[in-house]
Amino acid sequence: MSRITILLAAIAQCAALNPAIKLAGKGMALLGPVFTLENKLQAAALGRIGGVDSEDVKQEIADDIKAPCVIYTYGLSPFSTEAVALLESKGAKFEVKELGPEWFLLGPQASVKRAELEAMTGQSSLPHVFIGGEHVGGLATGPGIATLDEDGELDALLASAGATQSAATSGGGKLFGIF
């Protein structure tokens, strides 16, 4: 293992346990109504300008969440970074769907996708994590993967969805992945 890989793994482990980010995430729920309104206005305006079909976006999300584990993120969001780090520290096999750098930098398609995710889940903030096709919240909201991890439930959810490295490489208990 290279020094960079070891360093990144150590950083991911430390980052996933950051209590300040977790607490801030819970506090963000107080701003939910403001984010909901902003989300709808942004999606309506940019979606119209860009000619985005919300039915196409809904289908794209439905196709995305067929994967064992999917996380929708913002590239600059500390909450998204923490959630990705936690999944990495668990050895999870997951797909990252970055909508953009941050909410105010989203284009038409991503703005509509963000609004559709809220309509599906009731959660306006990112990240959105789906395990086995089910929304489990974000980092610390809805209940969130940090809470699931603290409660000892995250590993079992990931394993049951086939979203662990061992599940991905084990062939589902079959000999050579075939028999």
Q: Where in the chain are the domains?
A: 3-166
CATH 3.40.30.10 fits 3-166, yes or no: yes
Per-residue pLDDT for 102 more than 60? yes
The owner of tokens 């050579």 is 176
Which pLDDT does position 94 carry in this prediction? 98
Written as one letter, the residue type at 171 is G
Query: pTM here?
Result: 0.81
Per-residue pLDDT reduced to its tens digit, 45-68: 999 999 999 999 999 999 999 999
Residues 126 and 142: beta-carbon distance below 8 Å = no
Which pLDDT does position 128 carry in this prediction? 98
Residues 32 and 124: beta-carbon distance below 8 Å = yes
Confidence of residue 10 (pLDDT cuts 50, 70, 90): very low
